[in-house]
């Protein structure tokens, strides 16, 4: 299992990617079936070689092969095996390999599940996936080889960034990449449609489950990252509007818009050009995120070590892929607006407004993220754009979305009746107002908290009313098709998220205190008793561990153990202690000892009381679930079988002529 | 033509990113220009490093231009800069005032003793309070202050022979032309 | 301590969070809880000059510590948030503000999203109106597109 084999596997994968990217496209263009047939075996072969390279890197980490530079940089003898596996994607080169592996997984899944697509179309889709793979494999081979040798071999390695030595963080990157890369499928579908010339309504139906699944993964990845930041960093924050977070949020917003645009195009035939464009945008923004994180163009919290050469490479790649796609779009997008007509009051209009707001929000995030760079370019001086900017504009843009949400399912395609809508508005409005008034007594008059309760109830009532309507009016078994159930879950998730954000933001109590052992501090009705700090050791760290007993009305609720760990190379990492609850989190982070030489004395501690914070991730998980449930709708699969009915004729006649 | 809008917007972004890569290859991302350039230097009263009972004030240094060099014995980049100050620093034609920033006096004295003292005068700001008025955010930093007490030029990061020749010397020449 | 922090910063180019992950926790003698909340909110809107990817509230850099203390003292002197921000801007430039002030140079930043929203809104209005015109006048076109909807898989609920 020498690393050189890994390199060789990558070279072979690269060659297969070229075959996969070029031959099927030529075949589809020329009508050459032999060339089109290259697509699937090439994709499978490429996946095998990439998996091999990945396996070899994992093996090198598991066997402490410090003769590999990347292994030596990111692991050491004391690192537990599970973090040695996580270390594979702990830095630039390996995470890029993971990116490629996941791209291959999606391609293989696509190749396996696309047998019912028209032959030329499937060949084009897989071909486009191959073109993307060419770019990334070239990137890893020419600028970021994870198998570079380090001679002489050091006795021990460096360390995996302690920040990443956490269960939540180990699976955050793979899931996030599943989302990023998943958008490549919708992208490939739309490029194939553009290349094919005729943009049929059917391609959107095929693309929909893929888009929903990718969006579900991206949601989970973002939730995991946010949860990790909250649990690990000791700031009690869950979102920082950092450039890298924004890089994952932009494709998420566009993906949400795309899911809805695809629904219009699939069911009504309209907005084809817009759906195509959004498909291109969603994946382009994923690529852009990769560029921003790895090129060092922006100052960011979790940016990879920057290297201008890599930046130039990705920029060229980005220009070819995105520029090429947009050029194709400009030349070949359907010129005539097709689809069924619709009224001003209709689901189409509502979805269009939602799309507009989501797309604008994404553009706003892009503008805010890049503005410091624009400032440099236009000599406006060094400028910072951060939470106050995004935190002001984003809610403004999303408020109309929240206002529209309850009506969504009630709006008919084409033409909606005003009566039903008024009824929904009345009921949801009354419910929201009633809950807001009740809430006002509990939240010390905090306006944001009241607004949070009202908006969440507004959304949830809409969702429940529609669920109820279906329950009453539709025979069982057909009440909640997966696509609709997914939609309801995701919308409910938005409500849960909103209440989580606004309640936790407005009602949280943060208190920095200096406590000697035995002293007690009271926060939001809970007494935190500091019982001192002692030393403790883990597999590859030692730590000062505080013991904080939490009491309510004199009775012990729980004991919390916040840590301050020291890893090898003197890297320090805090582990906050969180007592989780549905309605509140209690959270303790350990600061510094008042006297550095006496850890048994007084310490600085940060105590948090965070009501409803868990609802933020709960809402995110509901949205994710909605995406997955929707992707699993049988309708998308039945359609494929229906499409198949036309296919056997061609296959049979081909077989006959061969015989 | 409408369909070319996304492409045009994207190509503008590519231009911006290209600029970003190019810009970052020769700019320190951490460099933030000081708003104090061409403004009067803040008033200060700081003790001398080697004679803490004597206070140096802004007023006491008026009348002649000088270079205020912020350093600390804890500062890695300052050690890098030090040899340059020892050679080129002597030939600037203005006084060089050392500003010992957030440092234990004994550490600073030992540092200067071991490596040589490039300064005509060293003032100490152990709490770092005055440094906030100067907008110091990292050491080493160098301020060129003219005879009237106005900050004319600031360099962040170690002074190198190139920086001295290309930026500092012309700034000193300009200051001297006005108030010989 | 400081040199170690610098070294760490260099080592941790990948994820600068780690530096701050040591926590910037320091109890200050606030007058009351309201002042502590105000302090937390204000320092979150200010950027640390040393660890530039962190806000002043969370940064563990020495200078951030000094500046937090400065902010605290200015609060005790009765300065408003705006005055405290101005105090820091005078010394460190607009870079310390996470919400850049509105001035000709930042019009694009502050009004850009609005412009995009308006332009997009115009497109939406035009699209909706055009589709409605089709609905009113062009029956043939409507019948044409209707064909796609007769697919059995589409049938069932109109939702």
pLDDT at A657: 37
Tell me if C156 is assigned to some domain.
Answer: no
The residues, ordered by sequence, that sit 6+ positions from A320 with a Cβ below 8 Å of its Cβ are: A135
In a domain, B11, yes or no: no
pLDDT higher than threshold 70 for residue A330: yes
Which of A485, A503, A507 shows the shortest CA–CA distance to A495? A503
Q: How confident is the model at residue A114 (pLDDT cuts 50, 70, 90)?
A: confident
Does residue A136 register a pLDDT over 80?
yes
User: Among C119, B155, C146, B136, which residue's Cα sits nearest to residue A360?
Assistant: C119
How many Å apart are CA A491 and CA A489, to the nearest integer? 5
Tell me the Ramachandran region of residue C23: left when phi exceeds 0, alpha when psi lies from -120 to 50, beta otherwise.
Answer: left
Q: Which of A520, A299, A487 is nearest to A406 (CA)?
A: A487
Q: A337 falls in which pLDDT band (50, 70, 90)?
A: low
Residue A24 lies in a domain: yes
Contact B159, B168 (CB under 8 A): yes
Does A535 share its domain with A659? Answer: no
Q: Please tell me whether residues A490 and A544 are part of one structural domain.
A: no
Say whether C17 and A302 touch across the interface (CB within 8 A). yes
| Span A62-87, average pLDDT | 91
In total, how many domains does chain B have?
A: 1
Which residues of C are less than 8 Å from B29 in CB distance? Answer: 52
Model pLDDT for residues A214-242, shown as the tens digit of each residue: 999 999 999 998 988 888 776 778 898 98
B6/A295 CB distance under 8 A: no
Residue A654 has pLDDT above 50, yes or no: no
CB pairs under 8 A between B and C: 48
Residues C48 and C63 in one domain: yes
Q: How many CA atoms lie within 13 A of A537 on its CB side?
A: 4
Pairing of strands B141-145, B151-156: antiparallel
Whether residue A434 is predicted with pLDDT greater than 90 in this model: the reply is: yes
- Under DSSP, is residue A531 helix (H, G, I), strand (E, B) or coil? strand
Select from A152, A159, A113, A107 the least CA-distant residue to A133.
A107
Contacting partners of chain B (3+ CB pairs under 8 A): A, C
Please write the tens of the pLDDT for every residue from A571-606. Answer: 888 888 889 889 999 989 888 888 888 888 899 998
Cα C29 to chain centroid, rounded? 30
3-state helix, strand, coil in chain A (%, to 5): 65, 10, 25
Pairs from A448-455 (Cβ < 8 Å, separation ≥ 24): A448/A502, A448/A505, A448/A506, A449/A502, A449/A503, A449/A506, A449/A507, A451/A502, A452/A498, A452/A499, A452/A501, A452/A502, A452/A503, A452/A506, A453/A499, A453/A502, A453/A503, A455/A402, A455/A495, A455/A498, A455/A499, A455/A502
| Same-domain status, C26 and C58 | yes
Q: Which of C100, C120, C138 is the last residue of a domain?
A: C100
Instruction: Clarify whether residues C77 and C124 are in a common domain.
Output: no
Asked whether residue C37 falls in the same domain as residue C80, the answer is yes
Q: Is residue B4 part of a domain?
A: no
Q: In chain A, what residues touch C123 (CB-CB under 8 Å)?
A: 356
Position A134 confidence tier, pLDDT thresholds 50, 70, 90: very high
Residues A318 and A428 in one domain: no
Chain C residues with beta carbon closer than 8 angstroms to that of A225: none
A453-485 burial string, b = 16+ CB within 10 Å, else e? bbbbbbbbbbbbbbbeebeeeeeeeebbbbbbb
**Distance (Å, whole) CA A550 – CA A557:** 5
Tens-digit pLDDT profile for residues A81-109:
999 999 999 888 999 999 999 999 999 99
Does B18 map to a domain?
no
- In this prediction, residue C26 carries a pLDDT of 79
pLDDT in tens, A242-279: 888 899 999 999 999 999 999 998 888 888 889 999 99
What distance in Å separates the CA atoms of residue A489 and residue A474, rounded to the nearest whole number? 19
CA distances from A572 to A418, A473, A535, C21 (A): 61, 60, 14, 7
The residue behind tokens 């064909």 is C147
* Model confidence band, residue B177 (pLDDT cutoffs 50, 70, 90): confident
Cβ pair C13:A303 closer than 8 A = yes
The confidence score (pLDDT) of residue B66 equals: 94
Q: What is the per-residue pLDDT for A53?
A: 96
pLDDT at position C57 over 90: no
User: Does A39 lie in the same domain as A7?
Assistant: yes
Domain range holding B167? 35-178
- Is residue B58 situated within a structural domain? yes
Whether pLDDT at B179 is above 50: yes
Cα(A39)–Cα(A23) distance, rounded to whole angstroms? 7
CA angle, A505 then A506 then A509, to 5°: 85
Do the chains contact at B17 and A297, CB–CB below 8 Å?
Answer: yes
Does residue C157 lie in a domain region?
no
Question: What does the pLDDT read at residue C27?
Answer: 83
CATH number of the domain that B87 lies in? 3.40.30.10
Give the pairing type, strands B151-156 and B95-101.
unpaired
Tens of pLDDT, residue by residue over C98-123, are 989 998 889 999 999 999 999 999 99
Say yes or no to pLDDT of A644 above 70.
no
Which chain C residues contact residue B72 at CB under 8 A?
Answer: 2
Same domain, C47 and C27: yes
Residue of A nearest to C47 (CA): A384
At residue C142, the pLDDT reads 38
Q: DSSP readout, chain B? A: -GGGHHHHHHHHHHHHHHHHHHHHHHS-TT----TTTTSBPPP-EEEBSS-TTSEEETGGGTTS-EEEEEE-TT-HHHHHHHHHHHHGGGGSSSEEEEEEES--HHHHHHHHHHH----SEEEEESS-HHHHHHT--SSSEEEEE-TTSBEEEEEES---HHHIIIIIHHHHHHHHHH--
Residue with tokens 């099927």: A24
Q: C82 lies in which domain range?
A: 2-100
User: pLDDT tier at A306 (50, 70, 90 boundaries)?
Assistant: low
Asked if residue C147 and residue C109 are part of one domain, the reply reads yes
On whether any CB of chain A is under 8 Å from the CB of B137, the answer is: no
Does the residue A363 lie in any domain?
yes
What is the per-residue pLDDT for A285? 94
The answer on pLDDT for C134 being more than 60 is no
Is position A376 within any domain?
yes
Domain boundary among A160, A187, A221: A160
Q: What is the mean pLDDT of residues A389-398?
A: 95
Over 50: is that where the pLDDT of C4 sits?
no
Q: What is the pLDDT of residue A115?
A: 83
Nearest CA-CA distance, residue A293 and chain C, Å? 10
Question: How far A607 CA sits from the closest chain C CA (Å)?
Answer: 10
Give the domain-ending residue among A105, A125, A160: A160
| Dist. CA C123–CA C129, nearest whole Å | 10
A461, A431 Cβ separation under 8 angstroms:
yes
Q: Look at residue C153 and tell me whether its pLDDT is greater than 60.
A: no
Residues A102 and A481: their CA atoms lie apart, in Å, by 30
**C108: Cβ contacts below 8 Å, ≥ 6 apart:** A367, A371, A374
Q: Say if residue A645's pLDDT is above 60.
A: no
Chain A neighbors of C131, CB-CB under 8 A: 270, 337, 339, 341-342, 348
Three-state secondary structure call for residue C55: strand
Number of domains comprising chain A: 4
Does A192 lie in the same domain as A141? no
Token couple for A223: 């939730």
pLDDT for position C9: 35
User: Which 8-state DSSP code applies to residue A154?
Assistant: P
Count of other CB atoms within 10 angstroms of residue A612: 27
Scanning C112-141 for CB atoms below 8 A from A yields 112-113, 116-117, 120-121, 123-124, 127-128, 130-132, 134-135, 138, 141
Task: Examine residue A515 and state whether it is found in any structural domain, yes or no.
Answer: yes
Element containing residue A624 per DSSP (H, E)? helix A614-631
Of C52, C62, C92, the CB nearest to B135: C92
Express each pLDDT in B23-43 by its tens digit.
Answer: 877 777 778 889 999 999 999
Report, as an integer, the average pLDDT of A419-426. 91
Q: Is residue B17 one of the residues assigned to a domain?
A: no
| Residue at B23 is within a domain | no
Classify residue A605: in a domain, yes or no: yes
The yes-or-no verdict on residue B8 having pLDDT over 70 is yes
A544 in the same domain as A470: no
- Segments forming the whole domain that contains residue A421: 417-505+621-659
Question: pLDDT category, C128, cuts 50, 70, 90?
Answer: confident
Asked if B2 is an interface residue toward chain A (Cβ–Cβ < 8 A), one would say no
> How close are the terminal C-alpha atoms of chain B, in Å?
63
Question: A429: distance to nearest CA of chain C, Å?
Answer: 23
Q: Residue B12 domain-assigned?
A: no
Binning pLDDT at 50, 70 and 90, where does residue B7 land?
very high
**pLDDT surpassing 70 at residue A641:** no
Report the number of distinct structural domains present in chain C.
Answer: 2
Spatial contact of B69 and B142, defined as CB atoms under 8 Å apart: yes
Instruction: Judge whether residue C138 has pLDDT over 60.
Output: no
**What's chain A's length in residues?**
659
Q: Is B138 on the interface with C (CB under 8 A)?
A: yes
Give me the CATH number covering residue C88.
Answer: 1.10.8.640
The answer to whether the CB atoms of A376 and B13 lie below 8 A apart is no
- Residue-level pLDDT at C16: 31
* Of the ranges A15-19, A141-145, C96-100, the best mean pLDDT one: A15-19
Q: Is the model's pLDDT at C17 over the cut of 80?
A: no
Domain assignment of residue C158, yes or no: no
Please check whether residue A412 lies inside any domain of the structure: no
Position B166 in a domain: yes
Residue C159 inside a domain? The answer is no
Answer yes or no: do C89 and C119 share one domain. no
A339 in a structural domain:
no
């Amino acid at each position: 299992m020498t690393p050189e084999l890994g390199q060789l596997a990558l070279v072979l994968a690269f060659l297969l990617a070229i075959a996969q990217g070029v031959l099927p496209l030529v075949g589809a263009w020329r009508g050459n079936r032999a060339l089109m047939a290259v697509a699937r075996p090439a994709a499978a072969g490429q996946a095998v070689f990439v998996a091999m390279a990945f396996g070899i890197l994992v093996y090198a980490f598991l066997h402490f092969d410090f003769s590999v530079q990347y292994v030596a940089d990111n692991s050491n003898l004391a690192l537990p095996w599970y973090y040695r596996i996580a270390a594979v994607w702990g830095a630039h080169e390996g995470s890029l390999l993971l990116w490629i592996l996941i791209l291959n997984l999606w391609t293989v899944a696509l190749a396996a599940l696309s047998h019912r697509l028209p032959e030329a179309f499937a060949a084009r889709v897989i071909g486009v996936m191959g073109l993307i793979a060419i770019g990334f494999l070239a990137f890893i081979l020419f600028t970021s080889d994870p198998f570079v040798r380090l001679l002489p071999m050091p006795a021990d390695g460096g360390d995996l960034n302690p920040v990443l030595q956490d269960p939540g963080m180990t699976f955050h990157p793979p899931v996030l990449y599943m989302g990023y890369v998943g958008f490549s499928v919708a992208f490939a579908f739309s490029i194939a449609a553009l290349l094919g010339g005729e943009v049929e309504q059917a391609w959107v139906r095929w693309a929909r489950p893929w888009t929903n699944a990718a969006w579900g993964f991206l949601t989970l990845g973002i939730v995991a990252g946010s949860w990790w930041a909250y649990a690990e960093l000791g700031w009690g924050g869950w979102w920082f509007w950092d450039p890298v977070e924004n890089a994952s949020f932009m494709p998420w917003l566009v993906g949400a818009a795309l899911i809805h645009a695809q629904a219009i195009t699939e069911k009504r035939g309209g907005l084809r050009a817009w759906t195509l464009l959004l498909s291109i945008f969603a994946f382009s923004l994923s690529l852009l995120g990769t560029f921003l994180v790895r090129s060092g163009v922006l100052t960011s919290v979790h940016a990879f070590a920057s290297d201008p050469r890599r930046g130039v490479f990705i920029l060229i790649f980005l220009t070819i892929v995105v520029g090429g796609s947009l050029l194709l779009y400009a030349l070949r997008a359907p010129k005539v607006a097709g689809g069924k007509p619709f009224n001003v009051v209709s689901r189409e209009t509502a979805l269009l407004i939602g799309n507009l707001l989501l797309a604008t929000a994404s553009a706003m995030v892009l503008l805010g993220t890049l503005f410091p760079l624009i400032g440099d370019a236009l000599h406006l001086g060094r400028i910072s754009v951060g939470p106050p900017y995004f935190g002001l504009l984003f809610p403004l843009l999303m408020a109309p979305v929240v206002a529209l949400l309850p009506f969504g399912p009630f709006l008919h395609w084409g033409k909606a009746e005003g009566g039903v809508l008024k009824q929904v508005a009345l009921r949801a409005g009354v419910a929201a107002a009633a809950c807001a008034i009740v809430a006002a007594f509990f939240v010390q008059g905090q306006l944001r908290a009241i607004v949070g309760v009202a908006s969440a109830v507004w959304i949830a009532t809409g969702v429940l009313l529609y669920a109820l309507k279906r329950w009453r009016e539709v025979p069982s078994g057909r009440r909640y098709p997966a696509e609709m159930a997914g939609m309801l879950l995701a919308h409910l998730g938005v409500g849960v998220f909103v209440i989580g954000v606004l309640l936790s933001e407005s009602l949280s109590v943060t208190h920095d205190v200096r406590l000697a052992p035995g002293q007690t501090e009271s926060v939001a009705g809970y007494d935190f008793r500091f019982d001192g700090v002692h030393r403790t050791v883990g597999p590859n760290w030692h730590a000062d561990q505080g013991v904080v007993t939490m009491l309510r009305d004199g009775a012990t609720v729980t004991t919390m153990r916040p840590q301050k760990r020291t890893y090898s190379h003197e890297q320090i990492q805090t582990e906050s202690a969180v007592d989780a609850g549905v309605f509140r989190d209690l959270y303790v982070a350990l600061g510094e000892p008042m006297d550095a030489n006496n850890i048994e004395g007084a310490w600085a501690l940060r105590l948090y009381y965070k009501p409803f914070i868990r609802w933020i991730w709960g809402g995110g998980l509901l949205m994710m679930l909605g995406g997955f449930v929707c992707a699993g709708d049988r309708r998308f699969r039945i359609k494929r079988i229906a499409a198949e009915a036309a296919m056997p004729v061609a296959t049979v006649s081909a077989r006959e002529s061969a015989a | 033509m409408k369909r070319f809008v996304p492409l045009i917007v994207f190509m503008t972004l590519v231009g911006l990113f290209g600029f970003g890569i190019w810009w970052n290859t020769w700019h320190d991302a951490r460099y933030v220009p000081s708003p104090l350039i061409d403004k009067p230097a803040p008033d200060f009263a700081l003790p001398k490093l080697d004679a803490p009972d004597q206070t140096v004030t802004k007023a006491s240094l008026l009348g002649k231009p000088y270079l205020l060099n912020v350093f600390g014995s804890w500062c890695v980049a300052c050690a890098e800069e030090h040899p340059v100050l020892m050679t080129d620093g002597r030939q600037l034609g203005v006084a060089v005032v050392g500003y010992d920033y957030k440092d234990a006096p004994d550490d600073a004295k030992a540092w200067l003793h071991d490596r040589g003292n490039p300064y005509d005068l060293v003032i100490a700001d152990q709490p770092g309070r005055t440094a906030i008025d100067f907008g110091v955010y990292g050491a080493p930093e160098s301020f060129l202050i003219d005879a009237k007490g106005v900050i004319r030029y600031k360099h962040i990061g170690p002074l190198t022979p190139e920086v001295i020749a290309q930026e500092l010397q012309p700034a000193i020449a300009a200051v001297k032309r006005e108030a010989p | 301590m400081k040199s170690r922090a610098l070294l760490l910063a260099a080592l941790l180019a990948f994820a600068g969070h780690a530096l701050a992950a040591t926590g910037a926790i320091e109890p200050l003698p606030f007058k009351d809880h309201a002042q502590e909340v105000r302090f937390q909110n204000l320092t979150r809107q200010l950027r640390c000059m040393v660890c530039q990817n962190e806000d002043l509230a969370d940064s563990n850099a020495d200078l951030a510590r000094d500046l937090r203390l400065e902010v605290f003292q200015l609060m005790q002197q009765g300065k408003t948030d705006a005055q405290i921000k101005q105090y820091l801007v005078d010394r460190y430039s607009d870079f310390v503000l996470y919400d850049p002030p509105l001035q000709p140079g930042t019009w694009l930043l502050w009004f850009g999203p609005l412009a995009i929203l308006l332009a997009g809104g115009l497109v939406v209005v035009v699209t909706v109106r055009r589709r409605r015109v089709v609905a009113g006048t062009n029956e043939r076109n409507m019948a044409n597109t209707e064909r796609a909807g007769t697919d059995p898989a589409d049938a069932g609920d109109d939702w």
